[in-house]
Amino acid sequence: MAMVLKQPSVLPGFGLTLGFALFYFSLIVLIPLSGLFVKTTTLSWEQFWHTVTEPRAMASYQLTFGASFLGALINGFFGSVVAWVLVRYRFPGRSIVDALVDLPFALPTAVAGIALTAIYSSNGWIGRYLEPLGLKVAFTPLGVLVALTFIGLPFVVRTVQPVLQDLDMEVEEAATTLGANRWQTFRAVIVPELWPALLTGMAMAFARSVGEYGSVIFIAGNMPLKSEITPLLIMTKLEQYDYAGATALGVVMLVVSFILALMINLIQWWSGKRHTTT
């Protein structure tokens, strides 16, 4: 333990707390996760490759990643607007709206799933107006997009909000005194500050959407090769006892998750570096 500690400490409990934390975490998280990778090794490389590149899987990737990406973009734009409005403006009900932004995060995914389906199905509150216009949302890839946008909503808002709150008004005032109009000030002064937070938020929304299950399967239609997301494909394989297939796809998803998490950390580190050098 003394080797691990950079500086021996008088505060008690280091060995106990770190030991327990590592033990618990390995038991509950690390070992089961590694079990997934180990299981994959029982497949031959051809088997693995075949499973993860079969048409049904490829179609599911397209839908999952495509819809997640679009959802992240939509949230990137509107989420920033929402963050701006919440931070800069005062209007009645602002604090309620502010609290509700976290709803997609606190709400069970199944509840979100059935609620969205009910709304966008052909006799739903919104669906009934969209269907005559030819826009079928429920049971189509568009429904997947809607669900993933809902899920990703809080991420961009909550990463951009603190940055906006900490913005130094003085810099904006300086730009104004130098003759910049509002739009120029926004572009030159505010956007560069927001950019890392925005990227982080979008990456998080994307990461979350890619793995999302509960809120999507009700509204998706779930037709193989058309409106089937990758997590559902994994679930289906499990139900058919195709453990090898489920594992292979699971590894793909896990690797993607880790890469995304790494990217997010990199963005945060990079933006942290920028700030300390200025």
Partner 1 sequence: MSIQVDHVTKRFGNFTVLNDVSLHAKAGELIALLGPSGCGKTTLLRILAGLERPDQGRILLHDVEVTDQRITDRRVGFVFQHYALFRHMTVTENVAFGLSVLPKAQRPSPDKIQKKVDELLSLVQMRAMADRYPNQLSGGQRQRVALARALAVEPKLLLLDEPFGALDAKVRKELRRWLRRLHDELHITSILVTHDQEEALEAADRIVVLNQGHIEQIGTPDEVYESPATPFVYHFLGDVNVFHGRMSQDETVHEEAIRQLPAEVDASGEHEVTFVRPHDLELSLSRTTPTQLEATVRFVITAGSRVRLELASKDSPQIISVELTRERYRELKLGQGDMVFVHPKQLQVFKMPGPRS
Partner 2 sequence: MSTEIAARVKNEEWKASLTSESALVRWALIVAALGYLTLFLFIPLAAVFTEALKNGVESYFASFTDPDALSAIRLTFLAASLAVPLNLVFGVAAAWAIAKFEFVGKQILTTLIDIPLAVSPVISGLIYVLLFGAQGWIGPWLAEHDIKIIFALPGIVLATTFVTVPFIARELIPLMQSQGREEEEAALTLGASGWQTFTRVTLPNIKWSLLYGVILCNARAMGEFGAVSVVSGHIRGLTNTLPLHVEILYNEYNAVGAFAVASLLTLLAIVTLIAKTMIERKTASSRTAHDPVWSTQPGNPL
Site for partner 1 in 168-197 (CB under 8 A): none
DSSP character for 133? G
Distance, in Å, from the CA atom of 204 to the CA atom of 183, rounded to the nearest integer, reads 28
The single residue among 1, 7, 91, 96 that binds partner 1, judged by CB under 8 A, is 7
Q: Which does 126 bind (CB under 5 to 8 A by kind): partner 2, partner 1, none?
A: partner 2
Number of residues that bind partner 2 (CB under 8 A): 111
| Least spacing, CB of residue 3 vs partner 1, in Å | 14
Q: Which of these, 88, 69, 70, lies nearest to 80 by C-alpha position? A: 88
Q: Indicate the burial class of 69 (C-beta count within 10 angstroms; 0-12, 13-18, 19 or more).
A: middle
| Least spacing, CB of residue 64 vs partner 2, in Å | 10
| Least spacing, CB of residue 4 vs partner 1, in Å | 15
Q: Does 4 contact partner 1 by CB under 8 A?
A: no
Q: Is the dihedral of CA 222, 131, 148, 74 positive or negative?
A: positive
Q: Does 58 contact partner 2 by CB under 8 A?
A: no
Site for partner 2 in 247-266 (CB under 8 A): 247, 250, 253-254, 257-258, 260-261, 264-265
Q: Which of these, 233, 227, 231, 55, lies nearest to 141 by C-alpha position? A: 227
Whether the Cβ atoms of residue 225 and residue 59 lie closer than 8 Å to each other? yes
Tokens, residue 14: 């280091």
Site for partner 2 in 62-91 (CB under 8 A): 78, 81-82, 84-86, 88-89, 91
Q: Does 221 contact partner 2 by CB under 8 A?
A: no
Tell me the longest C-alpha to C-alpha distance in the chain: 72
| Least spacing, CB of residue 243 vs partner 2, in Å | 6
Closer to partner 2 at the Cβ: 52 or 115?
115
| E strand intervals along 14-164 | none
Q: Which does 224 bind (CB under 5 to 8 A by kind): partner 1, partner 2, none?
A: none
The single residue among 66, 118, 195, 226 that binds partner 2, judged by CB under 8 A, is 118
Give one DSSP letter per residue of 143-171, joined into a string. Answer: HHHHHHHHHHHHHHHHHHHHHHHH--HHH
- Binding-site ranges for partner 1 (CB under 8 A): 7-8, 10
